Every structure is written in C-alpha cells, then in structure tokens.
Chains A and B, each alone.
Chain A
C-alpha cells in the first residue's frame, strides 16, 4: 500500500460501524477481484495445468528437470540480482529528481513533469535501437556497453525513472517543509535531516514505487534480449522461449510458478516494510511547499538533475527525433509524409490517423475499466479508516492486484487462447481482450494512486457526515469523491500511458487487425529500407508528442493538496 498515513487506520475506532463496513468492503472488492479471477487467474491456471497435467495425468518431471539444471539456476539468480540492482539504482538516481520536483520551482517544471512519462510508453525496440546509437560502440559516445549488464541496468532506469520520480515527488511535495527547517535550525546536518525527518515520511511511497520498478525489471524481456547479449537471460525470456518458441509447456509452467512464488514473496516483503514506522503529519499542498532556488546547493540540485535527464533521456530520444527528420534527400518531413503512403494500398498499411485513433480508443476503454475497478479496490483497501481488523484483507487485496505485473505476458496471452474458446466467453480473438489486458496492467498503478488520496481524507469528516444521518453511499459521494477526484485524474494519466505503450500479452493474441501505434511502429521496423526505418522513427515521435499532450492535459487536473503521482 502506498499508505502515506497508515496510522490513521488505528487512530479512530467506531465499533458500531465495523460490521457493516466490512460487508461494504467485501462488496467493493468483489468486482476487481472477480475481474482478476476471470482475466488473469483462470487463464494462468489453465496454461499451467496444460503444462503439468497434459491429458489428465500429472507430469511433474519438469520440476526436477528445471531445478537440477545449472543453467536455469543461473537464469533465476541473474533475474533476481539484476532486478534488485535495477531497482536500487533507479531509486538512487530518481530521488534527487523527486526532491527537485517536490521542493523547487523552475521554468518548464510542468512540461518536464509530463514529459517524464514519455520513455514509459515507447516500444522497447525503438528505444534500444536509439540506445545502441549512443552506447553501442561506434555510436555517438564511442562507448560500447552492448551486451553488458550495464546496458540492461541503464535501460531499466530509463524506462522506470518516471515511476519513482512521479510517485515519490508527489508525496514529498505534500510534506510540510517546516518540519525539515526546524530540524535544521536545531542544528541537524543535512543528511541527518533527510535520514530522520524526510525518509520516514517518504519511505512508504518509495517502497510503493520500488516494488513496481522491481516487478518491471524482474519481468524484463525486450531490453534483456536486445541489449543484454547472449549471456544474459531473465526468467521472462526463458518462459517466452519455452512457451512461444518450443511449446515446452511443462518447463514453462515450472518457470512460471517459480516466477510467481518469487514475485509474491517480494511483494509481501515490500508490504511489510511499508507497514512499519509510518507517521501522521499534516499534509500541505504542493504549491505551498515549493520555492524558487535561492541557495547554491538548490541551484546545483536543479542543474545536476537536468544534466542527468539530458544525458539519460535527451540524447537517445533526441537521436530518435533527429532520425525521423533525416531523410536520404536531406532534412525534412519526408518520413512523416511517407506514413500516409499506402504502398499501393497494402493491407499492412496503417493510416497514421487510424493508429492514433485505435491507440486512443483502446487507452480510453482500458482507462475507464481500470478506474472503475481501481476505485472499488482502493475503497476496499482503505475502508472508512475505522477498522484495524481488516488490514490483512487490505494487504492481500493490494498484493493480489500487483501480481499480474510480475507475470509473464506470454503465459497470460497463451492462457487466454485456451480458456476463452467457447461461449459465453468466446473472447480469445475479440478486440475486447486488448483493453482488458491493458486494464490488468494499469490497475496496480490506479490503486496505488487512489489509496493515498483516500487515506488523506480525515475520517472525522466521514464520521461527522454519518452522525448527521448520511448513508454510507451518501458519505462516499459527498466526502470521498470530491477529494479523490483529483487523484483519479492522476491515475487516469498513468492508466492511459500504460495502455498507449503496452505491447505484452496482446501481442500474442490472434486478433482481428486493429493496429495501435506500437504495432504500426513494429511493422515498419520489420522491413528493410530507409523509408521503413524512418517511418518507425516518425511514428515514435508522434507517440512521444501525443503522450506529452495527453499527460499535460490530465496533469492539469492535478490535486492541489493530496499526494498523487
């Protein structure tokens, strides 16, 4: 849980309402958990069973095959340490940026805040080809990290930086700076102020972001394949190979179970570390806590962060944009014009406007589903802030919603194929599966945005309302909704971004042709020639611009007070 202020759970106890409220909580938890049950647990369970119990007879030999294979142990070990290293590295480099966004005012701050999400939506192969142009040897820097673990770690930071900066930055910005000032006046050294005052307050949001980064790095696929060379393989790559390439469903099932066990264990550990030592403080609105850079150390903070972002994002993404304008006949919009050339009316031609339209449509549908379910889930997790007994229920709900992020896309995708094959759920070739799959990925983000928003509501407001005779629904509608509405907008932003960039489970579905922007990019990249490559770069640039526009619009609804991404 992102719980900025979990102690609130314990702060109020109204005995009479407890029973009724737990019924409500169960009711609220039902739609998201049912959704997860049908569209995640069932398909995954079915594909595992197909592997371990083919033709109705258990076949568990694959377990000993996998565990006795030193290569598999190496894969597991590498997956674990690369994801932990990526998470730690990402948190370390992202925290100063979170501090900058939380505390300082500078020109272009809002735009930069929105632009942070761009790397998050770009297709892996596009970013990787750009990165190879920078660190692939013979590239811009002459440095060759291709095939090293450093290339993997850098790429993981590239993709996940926004998750940490936006989560922690938002929480940090609500912390009253006077707390830190008082400590400083009392003579504490800067590191002491951070360790004793700031860290305990941001710690749970760091853990929330870190667990998402960990899951993304743990299930990293494209990055490891493209930048990691031959010697680096993750569990996810191995599961993909065993499933989609070799159809060794038994080995794939064992690996998927290993993946699941590790993911659940790590999530429980994160959940516990978030529970300990949380503090109740007054929250401040972001505009009250930021100030212009006055001291030299503040200016240095801004400069070093901007330099870091320029190097990490500016160079590879700049190269991508430059390449989209660099045609064989000189600088110009040739590749953008080529996007509308149907190559003699090919069926593989995707009119760019259609790709944009499809992407936006699917993202809208996924966002609506994720928000509706996320609201139910967040409300079930928070309850009315009055009962402690259900905190275990809250933790399990939260953990359950996170698990899909740590599960192989090919496991889910192939699971869809074998379970949704007859009425009433003959969905396996339906377009609906695309927004549904996106919503599953977006759900944890939504929940982690809404929970702190809901938690920030003073339970006394609700109590006052119900003492005055308001029904639970009325309380929710008049108290919770207005406050949480803004967090909802922020959640919508992340859900939208997730859906715009998602290219996982849906890639394995047999679906009627309705290409999104990432699919159009992959299609262009799959063919040789300057114009195909150029079109992929042009479409990627359009995707970047679209992301900035959409996220800027959504960020406009940013809450003034409560913590959010």
Chain B
C-alpha cells in the first residue's frame, strides 16, 4: 500500500523532472538578417526549434529534413488545436512562450496577435519575393506564408441530376429553388464559418450598422428563411451535411475551400466540367496565413531561419499538396491536380484586418442574435 503511494508520488515528481527542458537565455533583442549569401545559415551547435502550429499544419518530411540538414536545427512541431485556440493559447503565454515560432494565424486573428504584443520583429530577407498584396502587417511582425479562399462549394452531380441551375452569386443562394440546399458553419465556432460571414459583410456592406437591420444581416435573414442549415464545424458541414464528393449528407451547397474540389478527384484524366464538386467563385473570401517569432523565444535566430525557409522555393511549392492552400511567393509552380481543378479566384472578397479585429465580436453577436 504505502509502497504504491510512494511510487505514485515518485511518478509525479519524476514527471516534473523529465518535463523541464533546459531554459535557454531569452532575449528580445532585434534579430538581424540570418541568410548568408541568400542561403540558410548553419548553426555551429545543434539547436532545437519549437514551432507552434494549428492541427492542419503539414509539410513533406523530406522538405523539412533539407532545412534540418542545412541549418543543424532540429524542428519540433507542436500542433495545438485550431488556429483560434492556438492563437489564444499563445496570447495567454505571451512573453514566456511554449515555442519559438508560431504559424497559422490568419488576418482575422492578426489584429489580436499584434494588439497583445505576441511577436517580435523580424522582416525576412525573402519577403521581397512575396506578392505584396499579402503583406498586411507593416510593423514587420507577421510574415505571410500561404493563402487560401473560403468559398461556397457545390455538388455538381446533384445539380445535374435535378437539372437545376447552379447559383453563381450570393443572391442565387437565396432563391426559392435553393430551399434547404445550403449548409454553413457557425461563425462563432468555425474558421470557414467566420470567413463566410465576413464575405457577406464585405460584399453587401452594413458592417458599421449595429442594428438588427444591417444590410448583411438582412441577407442572412433571407438565407434563414430559405432554410439554411448552420452547423458547428467544417467536418460536420462537409461530411455530415454536404452531398457532393465524399460528403454523406443531402445538401448540395456548402461553405468550404477553393481547394476542396481537387481533393474529390481520384483520376487526373477527368474533365474539369465533370469533377464531382466545384466552387462558386463570387462567394470567395481571402484567407492569408501568417507566421512570426514569438516574443521571448529561446532561439529567435533559428526561428528567423525557419521563416526564411518557409518563404523558400521548396516549402512554398510543398504547401498546396500538404495543406490545400496556395503559396504566397510569386511564380511558384502548382501541382497538376491543383492547377487543373481549382477555379481561378480573381477578385476574392476581403476586409481590412483592423476592421475585423475591432468589430468581429460584435458581428458575431449580431449574427447570433438572429440565429439563436
């Protein structure tokens, strides 16, 4: 008995001893350029770099190995929930972070990231290769890494079978022929759900209107009247309610990503016009994902090197196949399925990130008042 209890106590103490990683000296000194002749730096002593990511982060192992071999830095990935939970966990530990680098917050989170003084400044030398339209943060804290678009997807098979016209605009979604055909995610619990709500605000306006009659809200009233279904998450919407592709539900319209249709194609020879699902490009809302060095990072120079690596050609080319998003560096080659089956989104909707930061909670509250 006693022995068991002692073992249990020893266990807990041991846990304490094993868990404490040697804390390195932390400095907030500005990180200078790390590239050497445009190449990744090599650290003389082996360094461990901790990268805080959302759960959807992925990179090809061999691409990551290139970085580790070139720099002598060992990368430890730390997936920590969805982008919102990850960012808030980082805010909670601002100044004494669990990792060196954070990747995966989007422009809807950028405002609170900057406001909470989460990052330290580093402007990558390779930022010059990035399409300037993605560089939203002028303070040099947040580096854009990839972008995607949240768009309404449709089930081509269902529309063909019922000989109904596929809607092409926001207004098309509220027509009576679309009664009970559309499923969206709750903007308060889901990232694509939030993006779609912001898309309606960007498109229809009325974001300043705090009343229940704001223009964008009137649109949602029409959607509600037309039997739109609201679910908690992308998983429930896409797999549980959507009828297209791998979806198991009965609604032919869903809020998903511009990059979802390629994932539904098994055979690359399939004609684009007959791929199982497609995208309504008019509804697309731009999402850019950022990375930054956490203030108080143990290894800021290694983190800076990783930022440069993320903007390098091998990582950028790897991004579509691994995370279903697009590179931000201009001229990066896309994989074949991507190039073929994703519709070109020429003018995605967007809102200034400062507006989103200032109004997001109120917009969600207005939306919730209508739907709850």
Contacts and interface: CB of A to CB of B under 8 A. Distances in A.
Interface of A: 27-28, 30-32, 34-35, 38-39, 50, 71, 125, 128-129, 132-133, 136-138, 225-226, 229-231, 233, 241, 243-247, 323, 328, 342-349, 368-369, 372-373, 375-376, 379, 414, 417-418, 420-430, 432-433, 436, 473, 476-477, 480, 507-513, 522-523, 525-530, 532-534
B98 A241 contact: no
A525 B80 contact: no
Interface string B173-191: 0000000000000101100
**Most chain B CB neighbours (cut-off 10 Å) among A35, A138, A426, A528:** A528
Contact of A430 (B19, B79, B99): B19
A28 B263 CA distance: 57
28 contacts: A71-B372, A125-B236, A137-B250, A226-B240, A243-B88, A244-B81, A343-B321, A344-B321, A344-B322, A347-B59, A347-B64, A372-B4, A414-B92, A420-B19, A421-B96, A424-B16, A424-B17, A424-B20, A425-B16, A429-B98, A432-B18, A508-B85, A510-B80, A510-B99, A513-B78, A527-B324, A530-B245, A534-B246
A527 B263 contact: yes
B232 to A, nearest CB: 4
Interface string B1-41: 11011111101100111111101000000000000000000
Contacts of B88: 243-245, 247
Contact of B93 (A39, A418, A425, A522): A418
A359 B300 CA distance: 34
B213 interface: no
A132 B240 CA distance: 6
A38 B77 contact: no
A133 B81 CA distance: 26
B324 A28 contact: no
B15 A432 contact: yes
Contact of B188 (A231, A241, A433): A241
Contacts of A430: 15, 18-21
B81 A507 contact: yes
A168 to B, nearest CB: 29
Contact of B2 (A245, A473, A508): A473
B157 to A, nearest CB: 13
Given A125-B233, A347-B64, A508-B80, 6 more contacts: A28-B1, A372-B7, A424-B20, A509-B80, A510-B89, A528-B264
Given A230-B372, A376-B4, A418-B92, A346 B58 contact: yes
B235 interface: yes
A128 B7 CA distance: 40
A35 B8 contact: yes
Interface string B80-101: 1100111011011100101100
B21 to A, nearest CB: 7
A345 B8 contact: no
Contacts of B230: 229-230
Contact of B98 (A30, A226, A510): A510
Nearest to A379: B1
A428 B97 CA distance: 10
A346 B61 contact: yes
Contacts, number: 231
B55 interface: yes
Nearest to B61: A345
Contacts of B245: 528-530
B355 interface: no
Contacts of A225: 189, 232-233
Given A376-B8, A417-B93, A348 B58 contact: yes
Contact of A247 (B91, B235, B371): B91
Contact of B23 (A34, A133, A349, A426): A426
A221 to B, nearest CB: 10
A426 B12 contact: no
A133 B247 CA distance: 11
A245 B84 contact: yes
A387 B249 CA distance: 61
Given A347-B64, A372-B4, A417-B92, A125 B235 contact: yes
A226 to B, nearest CB: 5
B1 A528 contact: no
Contact of A510 (B5, B17, B78, B186): B78
Given A473-B1, A529-B246, A414 B235 contact: no
Interface of B: 1-2, 4-9, 11-12, 15-21, 23, 50, 52, 55-62, 64, 76-81, 84-86, 88-89, 91-93, 96, 98-99, 112, 186, 188-189, 230-236, 238-241, 245-246, 248-250, 256-257, 260, 263-264, 266, 321-322, 324, 361, 371-372
Contact of A425 (B19, B62, B96): B19
A423 B20 contact: yes
A363 B17 CA distance: 21
Contact of A429 (B6, B15, B78, B238): B78
Contacts of A427: 15-16, 19-20
B81 A508 contact: yes
Contacts of B266: 328, 530
Nearest to A435: B15
Given A225-B189, A476-B1, A530-B266, A429 B50 contact: yes
Contacts of B232: 225-226
Closest 7 CB pairs of A and B: A430-B19, A348-B58, A138-B250, A529-B263, A372-B8, A427-B19, A225-B232
A347 B61 contact: yes
A420 B12 CA distance: 13
A15 B230 CA distance: 66
Contacts of A346: 58-61, 322
A562 to B, nearest CB: 18
A138 B249 contact: yes
Contacts of A348: 56-58, 322
Nearest to B322: A346
A62 to B, nearest CB: 15
Contacts of B79: 511, 513
A128 B80 contact: no
Contacts of B11: 368-369, 372
A512 B78 contact: yes
Contacts of A231: 372
Given A430-B18, A523-B55, A526-B235, A246 B50 contact: no
Contact of B361 (A27, A246, A522): A246
Contacts of A71: 372
Given A426-B20, A510-B78, A375 B4 contact: yes
B335 to A, nearest CB: 10
Contacts of A226: 231-233, 236, 240
Contacts of B85: 244-245, 508
Nearest to B58: A348
A420 B21 CA distance: 12
Contact of B5 (A28, A233, A436): A28
B151 to A, nearest CB: 13
Contact of A525 (B7, B188, B239, B249): B239
Given A138-B249, A225-B232, A247 B5 contact: no
Contact of B1 (A344, A375, A424): A375
Contacts of A526: 55-56, 234-235
Contacts of A38: 12
Contacts of B241: 132, 136
Contacts of B91: 247
A420 B324 CA distance: 35
Contacts of A425: 16, 19-20
A96 B79 CA distance: 44
A233 B241 CA distance: 20
